[in-house]
Amino acid sequence: MKQQKMLIPTLREVPSDAEVASHKLMLRAGLIRQLASGVYSYLPLGYKVLKKVEAIVREEMDKSGAQEILTSAIQPAELWKKSGRWDAYGPELMRLQDRHQRDFVLGPTHEEVFTSLMRDEVNSYKKLPVNLYQIQTKYRDERRPRFGVIRAREFIMKDAYSFDTNTDGLDESYKAMYDAYHRIFTRCQLNYRAVEADAGTIGGHGGTHEFMALSEIGEDTIVHCSACGFAANIEKAEVIDLNSGTDTATNANVEPVELVETPNVKTVKEVAEYLGIEAGKVIKTLLYKVDDDIVAVLLSGDDELNEIKLKNLFDAELIELLSDEQVESITGDKPGYVGPINLIDKIKIVADNKIQYADNAVCGANKVDYHYKQVNYPRDFAVEKFADLRNIKEGEPCPKCQAAVSFSQGIEVGHVFKLGTKYSEAMGAKYLDENGSSQLMVMGCYGIGVSRTVAAIVEQHSDENGIVWPKEVAPFQVHVIPVNVKNDKQRELATLIYEQLLAKGIEVLYDDRQERAGVKFKDADLIGIPIRVVVGAKADEGIVELKLRTTGASRDVSIDDIISDIL
C-alpha cells in the first residue's frame, strides 16, 4: 500500500478529553475518529488491526469447535420482555421503534436471540452440544463512555453461547472457551490474567472468569497471589445497598429487593457465630425444617458437631442434606458462596416430606429476623460474593493459601460465564433426552471485547514516540521509507524492495510521500509498524537500513540480503 494515497491522518495534538495513552495514540496515529460520544469510525489502519484481532479470535473459536453465525443488532422487544430484561436492563439498553410503533432494542448482548434460535431449531440431545458465536456490533448506552473504544457505546464484541444437555457438558464447553481465550490473548501479546469474577469460586467451582489486560488505567482491581495463582476481581466487592434498587451490572433502576420479617430464620452470621465458624466457607448444605419454614444452612467446620448444634439452635428437624447439584438447581448458582442463604420461599414441602422447589428466592439479611425478597443473582449477591475479599489489603494473606497477595488494575477484555438454565428456562429452550423426556438446555456465554482488545494492546505496547505493534496484529509488517523520494536512486531501490516484499506476500506500507525525512520518521514511529526499511544516502552502494520498532535497534543491510533478512 502506498502511503501517499492512504487515509492515515496523523495528528501532533489530540483533543483534551483523550486521557489515556491508547485513546491518544489511536487518534494521533489515525486509527479512529469520534463520530459522537462513545461512537467511533475505524480508519484504514485501525480497521486493519481490528480485522487482525478478529482473525485471531475467529481462528481460535473455530479451533475450539464453535460455529460462527451472524445475527442482527436489532432485536424485537418481545424477546427482552420474555427474558425479563426489557425492564431489568435499564437505561444502558438502547431502545427504538419502527414506523408501526413496534419496540426494538439495539442489542447490548445476545442471550435472548441465540437462545430463541436454539429453541426453534434444535430439539434433540443428538444435536447437542452446540456452541454458536458471532463477531458483531453491540450497543450499550454507557453512563460514562470514556477512554476511546475501551468504553464505547457502539463496539465490536465476539459473543458465544454454548448449549449442553447437562452441567458436565457445560463444564466442558466452558473449559474449551477458557482455553481458547488464553490462546487468543496470548496471540494478541497481551499481558493479561484470568481472574475469578466471584469469590464463591474460592471454593473451586469457577462459574465465571474475566480476562484482564493488566494496565494502570484498568477500571477493575485484581487481587492476585503469586504463590497459589489465585486471582479475583475485587471491584465487584463494592458494598451494595440491597434496598437501593440499582442493578450493579447495568446501573439500572430495578424493582428493589424487599426486606421481610422472617422470625424463624437465623441469619448466616448468627449461625456462623453460634457455631464459631466463618460464614460462607461451605462444606455442605443442610435443609432444616423450622416450624413451617424450611431453612437451608451452609455448614463448614466440624460437621457432626455442628449438625447437633444446629438442631439445638433451630430446635429443628433435619430433613435433607443437599448435594451441590441440588443447591445449584434450587438457587441457579453454584453452591458455596451465597453465604446468608436460606431458601424458604423456594422450597415447599409436599406429601411425605418430599421437597418441591418454588420460585421467589429469599436470602438472608444482616438483620436478625429479616430476609430479603426479590433477590436477583448476580445483581444482589455481589456484596456477599466478595465478602472475604472486600477489605483485603496488599500484602495480606491470600484467602486460599495464606501467602501475601498483591494488587493490580485490569481492563476486562473477555468474560466467560456459566449461565445454567436461566435463559433456556425463560425462553423455553428445551430438548428431548434419550428417554424422550423434555429437558432444559444448559448454557454458557462467552464475550470478548474485540475493539476494546485493540485499545488494550495499544495501552500495553507503546512508548513516548507512538505505538509499537506486536507482529501478529500490526496493520503492516514492513514500512519502507525512502528518505528522499525525489532522489531517483533511493526511489527506485525503495520501489524494488516494496515490490519484492509484496511478491512474497508481506504486508508493506510504502512511504512515497514527498515529506521531509523528519516528518516521515515521526509518523513511522507513531504508526508503529514492526520493521522499518530506510532507503537513504547509502542507496548508491546498495545498502539500506533495517530498524526494529520494538528496540529501535538498526543495522545496515545489503540490498541482496534485505528480503531474506525480513523473511
Nearer to ligand ATP, 112 or 412 (CB): 412
Part of the chain binding ligand ATP (CB under 6 A), chosen from 151-159, 350-358, 359-367, 466-474:
151-159
Residues 420, 445: contact at Cβ < 8 Å? no
Q: Segment contacting ligand ATP (CB under 6 A): 61-69, 334-342, 364-372, 449-457?
A: 449-457
- In the complex with Mg ion, the residue whose CB is nearer, 219 or 320, is 219
Distances (CA, A) of 406 to 201, 221, 396: 19, 10, 8
Partner whose binding site includes residue 151, from Mg ion, ligand ATP, none (CB under 5 to 8 Å by kind)? ligand ATP
How buried is 61 (Cβ within 10 angstroms: 0-12 exposed, 13-18 middle, 19+ buried)? Answer: buried
Chain contacts with Mg ion (rule: CB under 5 A): 412, 415
Whether residue 170 contacts residue 443, with contact meaning beta carbons closer than 8 Å, is answered with yes
CB neighbour list of residue 397: distance below 8 Å, 6 or more residues apart: 403, 404, 405
Binding-site member from 209, 415, 430, 520 for ligand ATP (CB under 6 A): 415
Grid coordinates belonging to 307: 449438625
Is residue 205 close enough to count as binding ligand ATP by CB under 6 A?
Answer: no
Which helix or strand (DSSP H or E) is residue 451 part of? helix 450-460
Amino acid at 554: S
The minimum distance between CB 359 and ligand ATP, in angstroms, equals 25
Three cell numbers written together for 392: 483485603
How far separated are the first and last CA of the chain, in Å rounded?
18
Query: Which stretch of DSSP H or E encloses residue 293?
Result: strand 293-299
Task: State the Cα–Cα distance between residues 550 and 564, nearest whole angstrom.
Answer: 20
- Cell numbers placing 532: 522499518
For residues 441 and 4, the answer to whether their CB atoms sit within 8 Å is no
Residue with cell 541482496: 560
Residue 513, all three cell numbers:
510521500
- 441 near 429, Cβ under 8 Å? yes
User: Which residues in the 108-127 window bind ligand ATP by CB under 6 A?
Assistant: 109
Residue from 380, 412, 511, 523 that binds ligand ATP (CB under 6 A)?
412
Q: Which is nearer to ligand ATP, 110 or 224 (CB)?
A: 110
Binding mask 91-110 for ligand ATP (x = CB under 6 A): ------------------x-
Q: Which is nearer to ligand ATP, 451 or 462 (CB)?
A: 451
- Which partner in Mg ion, ligand ATP, none is near 413 (CB below 5 to 8 A by kind)? ligand ATP
Report the 10 Å Cβ neighbour count for 141.
Answer: 16
Residue from 414, 420, 475, 528 binding ligand ATP (CB under 6 A): 414
We find the least distance from the C-beta atom of residue 417 to ligand ATP, in angstroms, to be: 7
Which residue from 68, 103, 141, 142 is in contact with ligand ATP, where contact means CB under 6 A? 142
Nearer to ligand ATP, 253 or 487 (CB): 253
Binding part of the chain for ligand ATP, among 64-72, 257-265, 410-418, 554-562 by CB under 6 A, reads: 410-418
Residues in the chain: 567
Nearer to Mg ion, 412 or 545 (CB): 412
203 touches ligand ATP (CB under 6 A): no
Binding footprint of ligand ATP on the chain (CB under 6 A):
109, 140, 142, 151-152, 155, 157, 412-415, 447, 449, 451-452
